[in-house]
Amino acid sequence: MRSRSSNSASPALVLGALGGLIFLHAPIWIIFLYSFTTDEATYTFPLPGFTTKWFGVALQRADLWSALSLSLKVAVVATAAALVLGTLAAAAVYRSNFFGREAISLLLVLPIALPGIVSGIALRSAIGTLDIPFSYWTIVIGHATFCVVTVYNNVLARFRRMQGSLVEASMDLGANSFQTFRHVVLPNIATALVAGGMLAFALSFDEVIVTTFTAGQQSTLPIWIFSQLVRPRDRPVTNVVATIVVLITFLPIFFAQRISASSADTEGETK
Amino acid sequence: MLNRLSTYLYRRPRLVLGLLLGPPLLYFVVVYLGSLFALLLNSFYYLEEFTGLVVRQFTLTTYAKLFTPTNLGIFFRTASMALTVTIADAIIAFPLAYYIARFAPKKIKTYLYIAVTIPLWSSYLVRVYAWKLILAKEGIVSWFFNLFGLQFILDKILSIPVIGGSSLSLSPIGMFIAFCYIWLPYMIVPIQTALERVPKSLLEASSDLGANPAQTFRQVLLPLAFPGVVAGSIFTFSLTLGDFIVPQVLGNSRFFIGQAVYTYQGTAGNIPLAAAFTMGPIVIMIVYLLIARKLGAFDAL
């Protein structure tokens, strides 16, 4: 009896892995395909015909533009808040060994670890109990809570990889804390900030569950899509919007993942 | 001036810690923990049926409403869905995670990893929508079955009581497929992490001692990967439990927990009942996390 070499995968395993990968990605391609359909009322496959006119139609829709601009405005401010709060928390946890350090990490992860509906209804209860009117800021505050953790994780991981001696050398050479931060720490964590920020942006731009509870009558792009999914009125336009959303979020996520993956690689090499 | 401030701060690490930690901690304690507290508080209020207003007075009547057969049915239905989705995802995720962890060449590995994690962050809603297209009565799946003259199999599946429906896009089976699809990356990543920690020498030792590959897999690799599976299951289970998008888009009139919460707080304006309902998944998750910790899932995260 000959045992298989441990360096090559069995055909069954390759097939299973490939199947998993296709299952993970093929549905998105189907959405792209459907954004070119001539079919207005159903989801008929094979597509009865191809057209690009729905992209033009979507561009004319005022409701879409206002939803898109609200989503962008929310994502930008929520990301900015996440960058500041996440970096501060990461710096605090990295620098000192204080009581309750583990609890901080747990607290920051909670908004994405708990079922989305819990955070949503919790914020909704607070808004209701305090009689706060729904506004742009209720959405932003909700989004910032679950965006902080992406920045925090990325920056903390980078801090742990950074050599502490760099900071000490800078101080020894006469730089004060602010100069050290500006010229030594910041360049070191810059790409981690970019990666965390882009993930936070994508997360916020795409979020629907918490937003449903904090938006009131306002419509972000995901809320617009959700209303179309429940009561389809403009199917072809929805297909186009879905395609555009995927494209808008794909690039920042892809680059963020590249940054995290490549810095993890260099880490492996120095060991 | 800055130099003096710098020196001043350098001598007071506690103050610096306070300055760093203050803003994020304040934000999370006030906004997030505050909201969770408001949630708990609201679950002890009740809605006056005639006026439709929330009465802010301590009562357990809202909780009592959870124990009607309809509502218990909702909890049971949601938990069973979460459990089946979790098991199915573990099975689908394993080959891909195993391949990435052990066999993928270094260059491809990075891209495979990115291919798995991109869906984690992107277009959740759009990915649910994709299944509405695919599973529609006139969509790809039906077309595929028709192509081979297998329509009768699809009809048979859809006629199964409880999990069937008028079309795949309006049935628990459709929801099940969509849930499996959406949460799959959450299962792949922890399993892959767990598998990567298994030293190669351990597998070689097993085969040196006479185990065939199947035995090595079952008796060495699988037990060591199990904490990863449990870690992944925390996400798949919790996320299915709290989701209302998939049931709303692909489900039928039988409610799931997320939908119930969404509906009660929305049209009915009954935040207390929605809040009490939310305690269901919270309690289920706490129990689940305690079990997961026993099984060593937290070391695999």
d(CA A151, CA A90): 8
- How far A115 CA sits from the closest chain B CA (Å)? 5
Is A114:B238 a contact under the CB 8 Å cutoff?
yes
Tell me the two tokens of residue A27. 């549905």
- Inter-chain contact A17–B95, Cβ cutoff 8 Å? yes
d(CA A172, CA A247): 48
Stated pTM of the model: 0.85
Identify the pLDDT of residue A189.
86
The DSSP-derived string for B263-275 is HHHTTS--HHHHH
Mean pLDDT for chain A?
A: 83
Tell me, what amino acid is at B109? K
Quick one: closest CA in A to B38, which residue?
A126
Quick one: closest CA in A to B241, which residue?
A115
Contacts 24+ apart (CB under 8 A), A68-71: A68/A221, A70/A136, A70/A139, A70/A218, A70/A219, A70/A220, A70/A221, A71/A205, A71/A220, A71/A221, A71/A222
The DSSP symbol for A48 reads S
pLDDT surpasses 90 at B141:
no
Identify the pLDDT of residue B299.
63
Characterise B118 by phi-psi region: left (phi > 0), alpha (psi -120 to 50), beta (else). Answer: alpha
Tell me the two tokens of residue A4. 């298989």
Tell me the two tokens of residue A180. 């050290």
Tell me the two tokens of residue B292. 């997961």
Interface residue of B31, B44, B57, B133 to substitute, partner A, most A CBs within 10 Å? B133
- Inter-chain contact B265–A258, Cβ cutoff 8 Å? no
pLDDT surpasses 70 at B18:
yes
Contacts of B113 (CB under 8 A, 6+ apart): A257, A261, B100, B192
- Inter-chain contact A9–B102, Cβ cutoff 8 Å? yes
Is A184:A170 a contact under the CB 8 Å cutoff?
yes
Domains and CATH numbers, chain A: 61-270 (1.10.3720.10)
Is B138:B167 a contact under the CB 8 Å cutoff?
no
What three-state secondary structure class fits A41?
A: coil
- Inter-chain contact A42–B41, Cβ cutoff 8 Å? no
Quick one: closest CA in B to A254, which residue?
B118
Reported ipTM: the value is 0.81
Q: Which of A15, A43, A89 sits opposite B139 (nearest CB)?
A: A43
Quick one: closest CA in B to A152, which residue?
B24
Tell me the two tokens of residue B23. 């803003």
Low pLDDT (below 50) residues in chain A: 1-5, 266-271
Mean pLDDT, range B197-202, rounded to an integer: 85
Identify the pLDDT of residue B90.
93
A212 interfacial to chain B (CB closer than 8 Å): yes
A261 interfacial to chain B (CB closer than 8 Å): yes
- Inter-chain contact B213–A4, Cβ cutoff 8 Å? yes
* Helices B124-135 and A235-270, axial angle in degrees (round to 10): 130
The DSSP symbol for B168 reads G
- How far B283 CA sits from the closest chain A CA (Å)? 11
Identify the pLDDT of residue A115.
79
- How far A65 CA sits from the closest chain B CA (Å)? 18
Quick one: closest CA in A to B144, which residue?
A45
CA dihedral B158, B160, B163, B166 (to 10 degrees): 30
pLDDT, tens digit, 9 for 90 and up, residues B42-87: 888 888 877 777 888 888 888 888 888 888 999 999 999 999 999 9
Q: Which residue do the tokens 């097939």 mark?
A: A15
pLDDT, tens digit, 9 for 90 and up, residues B232-291: 888 898 889 888 899 988 888 788 998 888 888 877 778 888 889 888 888 888 888 888
Mean pLDDT for chain B?
A: 85
d(CA B62, CA B277): 9
- Inter-chain contact B136–A129, Cβ cutoff 8 Å? no
- Inter-chain contact A118–B134, Cβ cutoff 8 Å? no
- How far A211 CA sits from the closest chain B CA (Å)? 12
Highest mean pLDDT among A80-94, A112-126, B98-112, B214-228: A80-94
Q: Which residue do the tokens 């007075």 mark?
A: B57
Residues of A in contact with B125 (CB under 8 A): 206, 208, 222, 225-226, 229, 245
- Inter-chain contact A253–B121, Cβ cutoff 8 Å? yes
Contacts of B267 (CB under 8 A, 6+ apart): none
A253 interfacial to chain B (CB closer than 8 Å): yes
Quick one: closest CA in A to B286, which residue?
A114
Q: Which of B23, B133, B138 sits opposite A85 (nearest CB)?
A: B23
B100 interfacial to chain A (CB closer than 8 Å): yes
CB pairs under 8 A between A and B: 278
Identify the pLDDT of residue B298.
66
- Inter-chain contact B238–A114, Cβ cutoff 8 Å? yes
- Inter-chain contact A122–B39, Cβ cutoff 8 Å? yes
Identify the pLDDT of residue A1.
40
Tell me, what amino acid is at B88? A
Q: Which of A118, A230, A257 sits opposite B118 (nearest CB)?
A: A257
d(CA B64, CA B68): 8
Identify the pLDDT of residue B88.
95
- How far A74 CA sits from the closest chain B CA (Å)? 16
Helix (H) or strand (E) segment spanning residue B54: strand B54-55
- How far A230 CA sits from the closest chain B CA (Å)? 6
Contacts of B144 (CB under 8 A, 6+ apart): none
